[in-house]
Amino acid sequence: MSIHLGETAPDFEQETTVGPIRFHEWLGSSWGILFSHPKDFTPVCTTELGAVARLAPEWEKRNTKVIGLSVDPVGSHREWEQDIAETQGAHVTFPLIADADGRVAALYDMIHPAADPKVTVRTVFIIDPDKKIRLTLTYPPSAGRNFDEVLRVLDSLQLTDRHKVTTPANWRNGEDVIIAPSVSDEQARTLFPEGWKTLRPYLRLVRQPGRPH
């Protein structure tokens, strides 16, 4: 099956490095990031899991839980965690799903037969507290994932869920944003009393809501 934006993230119960979890229950009221790697002890993914581990304070600030997955068993995951700690200088404290039977990979369309019929592709899902899919990314085997970009999109999603704005290309947290097209100028005067810059009637830039002066 294919996973589309706005759909409910498939629920599952599976063994992980922290014991069995039921996914939706484990997420609770948090945002979630589910990301897969082809198999344990691979070089690019070793650096990626280290990067995710180092970002632990950033995930916590954003009320976000992260969880990894591959087709390897729990014992292999735990051995790999030792390598990650030694080579990347960061301890993996988030769960790694053991998906040897491929059930979760099938639910999330992580097996792409034309790439490799036996292992999961390197994909990322952002899931909101309502358990809806808000972002999907799939990377080639040779290019390490940019988790700064995942954080950036997470910031954008959380901001735009709270306020009637959207974020422009290459936006970073704290920069100006765009007033949503669905907001009329009359509504905008109430929502953004300090005013905005109109480049075109459909392109109105405004200070990010909540940004300090």
Whether 45 is a known active-site residue: answer yes
Three-class HEC string of the chain: CCCCCCCECCCCEECEECECEEHHHHHCCCEEEEEECCCCCCHHHHHHHHHHHHCHHHHHHCCEEEEEEECCCHHHHHHHHHHHHHHHCCCCCCCEEECCCCHHHHHCCCCCCCCCCCCCCEEEEEECCCCEEEEEEEECCCCCCCHHHHHHHHHHHHHHHHCCEECCCCCCCCCCEEECCCCCHHHHHHHCCCCCEEEECCEEEECCCCCCC
- The single residue of 9, 45, 126, 165 carrying the catalytic annotation is 45
Which of the residues are catalytic? 45
